[in-house]
């Protein structure tokens, strides 16, 4: 172990099992926890950082370790929430990267601000949220994102990515594509609304409100419903290792959609812009994977999109299961599913 500053220690051969929601055993050659912006700058200047492959980790809820990590894992614990400015209609709030995402959402809801309520209870950190432009229940981070503050890991220079520069798309952004591994996301700025702005574009949410006769008057009302639906549907990683949806939904062109409809008339679909979205969970279920278990790994019994670790599974076993699912969906539908989870 080497201390590079007061409070910041670089540890060798660190076990990452408690730091990923899949609960996979894997070791990092070096490990360090950062707690403030000073730590970031000192870390970037250190030899261990400069000479090794780097992996920034928040809540570990969107990673699958398929092997030990032969580099330095940096656990982001840089916390803080600041109100930057406000006008008659909006409030701009900055969240530091190591802040827990749900606590950040709760902070905004307690101030009766609209914009993040549909994204309640997503595990992980604020800093990872722009990575895949987190989304749920008809909302995406990009709807409220103003900018992303990041450090260039080569130069140590701080840069601001304006929303348009983040290239946010469905479960993706520039940080997952062309800028992958090049930046440490230190904070985000969101613009939230003071005025009522209910988003029930997602049918499940709308139906729940109707069936339970709930009139959403505050963003907290929507958040409560989102939390109720999520807890009834998704496995708790503390009980059953998982990383939420393992696969992305599929998007197909009109021609392919026509072919699929003639073969599978029950095919569920959603028209989005020029393309047609097909729920990956349905495709996986049709291939009879839902609830299937192969040794220590399996497909969740209620959610075909979620792969689980029943205990003691290796990342390679989870990956192998995902390969099999991708192959059988491709064979039956000619659609190549993409993984949402980051393979390490
Ligand atoms: C039960 C469950 C439900 C989920 N539901 C949803 C959902 O509804 N919608 C959704 O979008 N996602 C969902 N997820 C996935 C996950 O919660 C999100 O992707 C979340 O944003 C990941 O945050 P994290 O801090 O855990 O990231 P990590 O898993 O720690 O990291 C994910 C990736 O981001 C990188 N990264 C992390 N922090 C930084 C940083 N500061 N700078 C640069 N790179 C960084 C990592 O290197 C890695 O590649 C779910 C996961 C679980 C377990």
pLDDT at 2: 62
Q: How far is the CA of 198 from the centre of ligand 1 (A)?
A: 25
At 298, phi and psi to the nearest 5?
A: -170, 180
Contact 329, 283 (CB under 8 A): yes
Q: Angle between the 219-233 and 101-110 helix axes, to the nearest 10 degrees?
A: 150
pLDDT at 274: 79
What CA–CA distance (Å, rounded) separates 134 from 143? Answer: 11
DSSP character at residue 296: T
Sequence-separated (6 or more) residues with CB below 8 Å from residue 232: none
What CA–CA distance (Å, rounded) separates 224 from 268? Answer: 28
What CA–CA distance (Å, rounded) separates 96 from 190? Answer: 11
DSSP character at residue 117: G
pLDDT at 8: 81
Q: Which residue has the tokens 């109100």?
A: 83
Choose the residue to mutate in 58, 132, 174 for probing ligand 1, maximizing ligand atoms within 8 Å of C-beta: 58
Largest CA distance in the chain: 66
Q: How far is the CA of 244 from the centre of ligand 1 (A)?
A: 9
Ligand 1 atom closest to the Cα of residue 150 is 42
- Helix, strand, or coil here: 306? strand
Contact 306, 321 (CB under 8 A): no
What CA–CA distance (Å, rounded) separates 141 from 1? Answer: 38
Ligand 1 binding pocket, CB closer than 6 Å: 21, 55-63, 76, 97, 122-125, 127-129, 131-132, 134-136, 184-185, 234, 237, 242-244, 342
pLDDT at 236: 94
Mark whether 285 is an active-site residue. no
DSSP character at residue 249: P
The reported pTM is 0.95
Contact 310, 321 (CB under 8 A): no
Q: Angle between the 203-211 and 219-233 helix axes, to the nearest 10 degrees?
A: 100
| Residues in the chain where the model's pLDDT stays below 50 | none
């Amino acid at each position: 172990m080497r201390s590079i500053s007061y409070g910041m220690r670089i540890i060798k051969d660190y076990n990452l099992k408690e730091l990923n929601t899949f609960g996979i055993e894997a070791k990092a050659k070096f490990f360090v926890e950062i707690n403030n912006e000073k730590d970031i700058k000192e870390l970037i200047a250190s030899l261990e950082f400069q000479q090794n492959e780097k992996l920034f980790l928040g809540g570990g809820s969107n990673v699958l370790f398929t092997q030990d990590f032969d580099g330095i894992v940096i656990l982001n614990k840089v916390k803080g929430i600041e109100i930057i400015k406000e006008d008659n209609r909006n409030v701009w709030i900055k969240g530091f990267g190591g802040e827990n995402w749900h606590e950040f959402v709760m902070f905004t809801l307690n101030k009766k601000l609209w914009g993040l309520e549909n994204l309640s209870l997503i595990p992980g950190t604020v800093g990872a949220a722009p990575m895949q432009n987190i989304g749920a229940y008809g909302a995406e981070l990009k709807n409220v994102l103003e900018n992303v503050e990041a450090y260039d890991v080569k130069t140590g220079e701080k840069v601001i990515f304006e929303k348009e520069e983040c290239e946010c798309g469905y479960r993706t952004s520039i940080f997952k594509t062309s800028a992958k591994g090049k930046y440490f996301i230190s904070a985000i700025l969101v613009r939230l609304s003071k005025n009522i702005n209910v988003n029930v574009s997602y049918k499940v949410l709308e139906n729940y409100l109707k069936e339970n006769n709930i009139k959403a008057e505050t963003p907290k009302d929507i958040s409560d419903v989102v939390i109720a639906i999520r807890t009834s549907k998704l496995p708790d990683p503390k009980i059953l290792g998982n990383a939420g949806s393992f696969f992305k939904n599929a998007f197909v062109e009109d021609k392919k959609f026509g072919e699929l409809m003639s073969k599978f008339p029950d095919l569920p679909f959603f028209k989005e812009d020029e393309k047609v979205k097909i729920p990956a969970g349905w495709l996986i279920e049709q291939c009879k994977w839902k609830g299937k278990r192969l040794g220590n790994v399996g497909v969740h019994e209620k959610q075909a999109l979620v792969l689980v670790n029943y205990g003691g599974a290796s990342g390679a076993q989870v990956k192998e299961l995902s390969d099999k699912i991708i192959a059988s969906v491709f064979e039956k539908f000619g659609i190549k599913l993409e993984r949402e989870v980051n393979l390490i």
